[in-house]
Every structure is written in C-alpha cells, then in structure tokens.
Amino acid sequence: MLSVTILGNNSAVPAFNRHPTSQVVSHDGTNYLVDCGEGTQIQMIKYKIRRGKISHIFISHLHGDHYFGLVGLINTFSLLSHKQEIHVYGPEPLQQIIEMQLKVADTILSYPIFFHTLTENATLVDNERIRIKCFRTQHRIPCFGFSFEEKEGKRKLLIEQIRKLQIPISFYSSLQNGLDYITPKGKVIKNDTVTAAPGKGKRYAFCADTRYDEGLIEHIYDFDTIYHEATYLDNMQDKAYSRYHTTTKQAAALARKAMVKRLLIGHFSSKYNSLDVFQDEARQVFPNTELAIEGVTYEV
C-alpha cells in the first residue's frame, strides 16, 4: 500500500498550530520522508511515525521551512544509536550545511549517511517495488518535486487451480513471475490459466513549492494522488506569481489538466486562520480536492 501522512501543512511562519512542510510517504513498511521543516521530529513523536523505518529523506529546496528540522533529526537518529544507512537527497549545499553543524558540535554519527545531489529528472530510487524520481518546479531558488511510482506487483496465484493441477510449491514464485509450468509428462500449463494479472501500481507526487506551471503535467499525468501547494486564495494571483507560489484554483486547474484522480493541497499562508475557503475554492475547479491535514494519512 502507498500512503502519505502529513506532518506539516503550513508555509514559512508557523501559525495556528500549523507546522512547516514535512510528510511521510509509506510503502510496504518503508517510510520515505519528504521535506523536514523545523519541529518535524516532534511532529513524528506526536503522530507516532516510526523513525527507525526511515532510510531515505528528500529535501525539495533550501528555504528553511522545508529543511530546518533535518539537522536535528539527523542528530536524534544518532543519539538513539540508529545503525542503518541514511540517504539524503537535496540541492547541493545541503551536505555542507549539515556537515558544518555536525563538525562544530564534534559529532560523530552512529550510522553512515550519504548525500545525493538532486539533478533534473533524476531517478533517485529504483528497485523492484518502487521508483522515485525528481523533477524541477518553478521557484525562486532551485526546487524539486518528487514522484513515487509503485511497481506492478507480482501475478496473483489462483490457488485452487494450482492445487488441482498439482503444481509443486517450489514453482509458485516462478508462476508469480509469469512463467508457464511444464508437467513431468511434458504438458504445458499456460501461466494465465493459473494466475491473475497484478494490481496496477499506485502513483503519488509531491509538487513542492512552485508557481503555476503546466510543465509539471508530464511528471504527474494520470497519477492517483498529487500534493500541490496552494499558498494563497484565488484573489491573490499576483502575489502568488511574484512569490513563486500557487493559488487554490491554479492548483486545482493543474490537477484537472493532469487528469489526476485526487488533489491534496497544503503549504497554506500564515495569514489565513481558517482553511475552509481553500477547500471550497479548489473544489469549484477540481471536485476531488482535499486539504492536507496534519496527522492524517491519505491512502494513494
């Protein structure tokens, strides 16, 4: 199952008990951390995120509300004697910033840490279960979104048929991989008579901070769920443009053009206390919009 849990849904200045950007994408028991604003580790405790399940951290850009919590989290992992590798993906100066702070504190981490510099359209993780890629967004400083594409699962065994045909258990995993079975007497049993097609992999994208940008569509087209910022309400289009952000209706228009199934909006400006209008405005353009609420897990 692919899901995302929101830890912070606010823009730069914390307000109204909303926190800076962070979310956890979970897939098959692995937690991928996306952005890490100040206080993320405290939000993790509050919402019972298993920190030990995190080995990959993705930082979209180096505005503080997206990464000021990272150095504290890296430190805490070490104080808790974490042993597994941690991989951090972010814009280049991130490594220098973190390493300088570890150095002045005379800190030797308890685990190996690897920094990976984001480059346009790079594939960051690609294994038999998931592919994670990054893509540039239109922001004031270099900024990247991330797409998570679950791989198709294995074929499903039709266990009654299989037993009837007395196919040995040792061949089950070959069946899941699509192979035909040949009986001891040489008869070919076609794979699709004893297995069913796997479910289609789910796809999620985190679109980071950005102006309205139809260039993003190719990276998120037909996705199951996308998270797109909606810093401002519709009447603030000019401010959104000048600050490299997006309004509710712009985010919704992009979701519609990209033919995604669901839109989550977040990164709300601290000037707004109530969020109801954000939802109302976006739904006028794209009905399947939801507010990204802190502590809530959305199944993709």
Helix (H, G, I), strand (E, B) or coil at 228: strand
Could you say whether residue 91 binds a copy of itself (CB under 8 A)? yes
Which residues between 229 and 268 bind a copy of itself (CB under 8 A)? Answer: none
**Contact with a copy of itself (CB under 8 A) among 1, 28, 50, 79:** 79
Place of tokens 């993709």: 300
Total of chain residues touching a copy of itself, rule CB under 8 A = 33
Which amino acid, 193? T
**Contact with a copy of itself (CB under 8 A) among 30, 95, 101, 138:** 101
Q: How far is the CB of 69 from a copy of itself (least distance, A)?
A: 7
**Side-by-side strand order, sheet with 225-229:** 123-126, 130-136, 144-150, 203-206, 225-229, 262-266, 289-291
Could you say whether residue 295 binds a copy of itself (CB under 8 A)? no
Q: Which residues contact 96 (CB under 8 A, 6 or more apart)?
A: none
Compare residues 275 and 300 and give the one whose CB is closer to a copy of itself: 275
Could you say whether residue 115 binds a copy of itself (CB under 8 A)? no
**Contact with a copy of itself (CB under 8 A) among 35, 38, 229, 281:** 38
Q: Does 209 belong to an annotated binding site?
A: yes
Q: How far is the CB of 256 from a copy of itself (least distance, A)?
A: 32
Question: Catalytic residue at 222?
Answer: no
Nearest to 4 by CA among 51, 49, 67: 49
Rounded to 5 degrees, φ, ψ at 290 are -130, 150
Which residues between 166 and 185 bind a copy of itself (CB under 8 A)? Answer: none
Q: Which residues contact 293 (CB under 8 A, 6 or more apart)?
A: 6, 9
